[in-house]
Amino acid sequence: MFTADDSIMSNLEKVVEAHNGKPNVVTLKSGAVAKNQTQKYDIIILMQSYIKHSVSQNAIAEAKADSTKIAMAQTAGQLSVEKALYRANNGLNVVDSPVVDYPTIA
C-alpha cells in the first residue's frame, strides 16, 4: 500500500512488481482511515510529501501495533521507494537514515 496520489502509480508499479507485489494507492486523510487501512496490507510505504504528519504518525503507530511492515519514502521516486521497501522488509527505521547500509548491485 502506498499513501499517495494515483498519478504516481505507473512509476511505483515497476518497483513493487520487481518484488512480486501488487501496489495499491490509498489516500489517508485521517487517523481513523489509517487505522482501517493498515490492517489490510503486508507492507505500507508512506509518501512523505503526500501525507500529513499527524496522519503518518497515526499510521505508523497502528502498523507497529499490528506488526505490519512500514516505512516512509521521502519522494515518489523509484530509488526512494526501493529504499523504503528495503527498510520495511528488514525492520529498520521508518524514515531514511545515513547509517542504513543498503545493498547495491556491482
Note the helical H segments in the chain.
9-18, 31-38, 53-65, 78-89
43, 69 contact by CB (below 8 A): yes
The pLDDT tens digits of the residues spanning 21-62 come to 887 777 766 666 666 767 778 888 888 877 778 888 888 888
Using CB atoms within 10 A of its CB, is residue 99 exposed (0-12), middle (13-18) or buried (19+)?
A: exposed
Number of H helices, E strands in the chain: 4, 4
Question: CA 65, CA 48: separation in Å to the nearest integer?
Answer: 21
pTM reported for the whole predicted model: 0.84
